[in-house]
Homo-oligomer: A and B are copies of this chain.
Amino acid sequence: MTHGVKVTFVDPDSSRELAHRIVARGTMVLDAALEAGIDVTATCGRRGRCRSCRVRAVSGEIAPPTLQDTIQLGPDGVRERYRLSCQMPVVADCTVAAMPVRNELGHQIMADAGVFSPGAMPLDCGVEKRVIRAEAPQDENHQTSDIEQVLACLPAGTSRDVPFSVYRKLPAVLREELGRLTVTTFQDRIIDIEAGETSEHMYGLALDIGTTTVVGSLHKLRTGEQLASQGAVNTQAVFGGDLMSRIAYAQFDVKKLQVLRVRILNQVNEFIGAMTQQAQVAPEHLYKIVVTGNTCMHHLFLGIDTSYVGLAPYAPVVRDPLVIPAGEIPLKKAPNARVCLLPILAGFVGADTIAGIIATRIYESESIRLLVDIGTNGEVVLGSRDRLLVCSAPAGPTFEGGQVRHGMRGAVGAIERVSIDEDIACEVIGDAPAIGICGSGLIDAVAKMRDAGILDAAGRLWRPGVRPLAEALRSRIVQDGESRAFVLVRSAQGGRGEDVLLTQNDIRQLQLAKAAIYGGVMMLQRIMDVTDDRIEEVMLSGGFGNYVSIESAVRIGLLPPVPVARVSYVGNTALLGAQLALMSETERARAFDIARNIEHVALATRPEFQDIFVDACRLGVL
């Protein structure tokens, strides 16, 4: 009989015990941590392709390093008993220091859409509050019922299909203030009844459930005024940073699907709780919640199997816009709300893209515009009111720090800007010592290295004899196993600490990632026969777009070679679109119209995409 072994988790700074857990020998430390209630980020989905889940063994016997450990953490790292917890089986009682999970404060999240101006559109949110005076039944001979008395005071089109919760409270409410009561309807169906006059209190939420972050805002439905907002890292991230990792985690496994679902439901419920508290709004007065997000997040939120969303032809289970009582989902923190999910177009063109189209109004543009959302699964929309094309561009986790040696998200300690003169200078988030590089830093570094001649158009690191290079820069090019790397920041403590490197492989990863996006743009341009000069505006959206240097993005050829003045950052268009659909049923209906009419281009099925992709790998047109 095998006995369990004890794994103790301690804080890396204070060495204070965080938790411990008895597990079966052979359990991965990452699983032990999750079982013990400690969130350890596993960006690459436990494939040993990133360093996000690393831990350090403080005491006790541990397994020898795997090949992945050595690749990701380096010979020094594994000697210092660092390991990837996703690759590290427990072999005996041990104590490990878990890296703190990136929390909301450390991580840059844009909770505000930033551009929302309710004046620009009709306020027809679909929710109505009517104050009526209904008499309780009085006459035994003329039989009626409580609900019939209420319906008699409402417009004729009001549905007789009344929710349970209303029947349950109706007898008391009808008799409380002599029949004076407020009836709330959504789309002509009663959703709540309250004693007295409460018509001022009518609120709604917009919510964008992204793979990386979840953001939301609370609004007054009468005016559109934003009363609160909230943003945080998606708590599912511990099961994988990108979509495919999460699909893989739950594939053909209902229990794991439930794990993901419960995570996001808890998080959204906490969000609602926080926002209603912030805005001093009673949860009962939330009536409409518009949710957007990519197809996978949409399905996971509803507990719908995503197994086949991850397999060609990547079909969603449902694409129609759904309207669901919050209690059925269940969102317990908004008992009376109707949850409206924006429609989906395809497995990798989700409700967030549709929301972005609504928000940017590209569908009514006279000239050709381009909308690009850079992310692990980027989306590209090209067109005008005459025709709209969309494709998804699987960039992978590189922009979020995945599959990059010292990659990390945009948190404290991440290099985010680089300037190169005689030597290199790095700007670090939070003015902290550099511990890694985030996606925007990566783009900036590569652009500047390209300008400085450290990289050629094919992405190769400088070699002696090609062209001259300043000594300070030359000395930063070092051997890294069988390949080479560029030292962005030298460790302060000399040999013991870690240099922050950009390896030749990291640069390749960036080229592949940016080629996925730009290849998508080129493909749509080709199908629509649009040359670069005909693109009137390039709109960058999404959380990532806010931090990227537009010059650098154009420089490395992540975006088409248009004058920088034509490129702008348009904010979190997914949340913005959700806000528009929250405030206007016209806009919500438009989302469905757009989803039905936009043309979807499946890049992988196009033979010509191979060549386009290879071209798109080049670092800039110069």
Chain A interfacial positions (CB closer than 8 Å to B): 136-141, 143-148, 160, 162, 164, 167-172, 175, 302-305, 307-308, 312-320, 324, 328, 344-347, 349, 600-602, 604-605
Contacts and interface: CB of A to CB of B under 8 A. Distances in A.
Contact of A136 (B302, B315, B328, B600): B315
A164 B328 contact: yes
B314 A605 contact: no
A164 B328 CA distance: 9
9 contacts: A138-B313, A139-B313, A140-B313, A143-B313, A145-B344, A146-B318, A164-B303, A168-B304, A172-B305
A206 to B, nearest CB: 22
Contact of A145 (B138, B162, B175, B315): B315
Contacts of A140: 312-314, 346, 602, 604-605
Nearest to A170: B317
B308 A145 contact: no
A170 B346 CA distance: 17
A170 B307 CA distance: 11
Given A136-B315, A319-B148, A605 B305 contact: no
Nearest to A175: B308
Contacts of A347: 143
Contact of A346 (B143, B168, B605): B143
Contacts of A604: 140
Given A167-B304, A172-B305, A144 B315 contact: yes
Contacts of A170: 304-305, 317
B317 A143 contact: no
B319 A136 contact: no
B143 A318 contact: no
A215 B535 CA distance: 73
A602 B139 CA distance: 9
Interface centre among A138, A168, A324 (most CB of B within 10 A): A168
Contacts of A319: 143-145, 148
A323 to B, nearest CB: 9
B302 A171 contact: no
Interface centre among A140, A148, A164, A346 (most CB of B within 10 A): A140
Given A141-B605, A147-B317, 6 more contacts: A138-B313, A140-B314, A148-B319, A167-B317, A169-B305, A171-B304
B317 A145 contact: yes
B307 A143 contact: no
B136 A308 contact: yes
A171 B313 contact: no
Contacts of A144: 315, 319
A171 B141 CA distance: 55
10 nearest A-B pairs in the assembled complex, by CB-CB distance? A137-B315, A140-B602, A140-B313, A143-B346, A171-B305, A145-B319, A145-B316, A146-B317, A141-B602, A147-B318
Interface centre among A171, A312, A319 (most CB of B within 10 A): A171
Interface centre among A144, A162, A164, A347 (most CB of B within 10 A): A164
B601 A141 contact: yes
Nearest to A167: B304
Contacts of A141: 600-602, 605
Contacts of A312: 140
Nearest to A323: B161
A175 B308 CA distance: 10
Nearest to A601: B141
Nearest to A299: B167
Contacts of A302: 164, 167-168
A313 B137 CA distance: 7
Nearest to A606: B141
A143 B605 contact: no
A588 B148 CA distance: 21
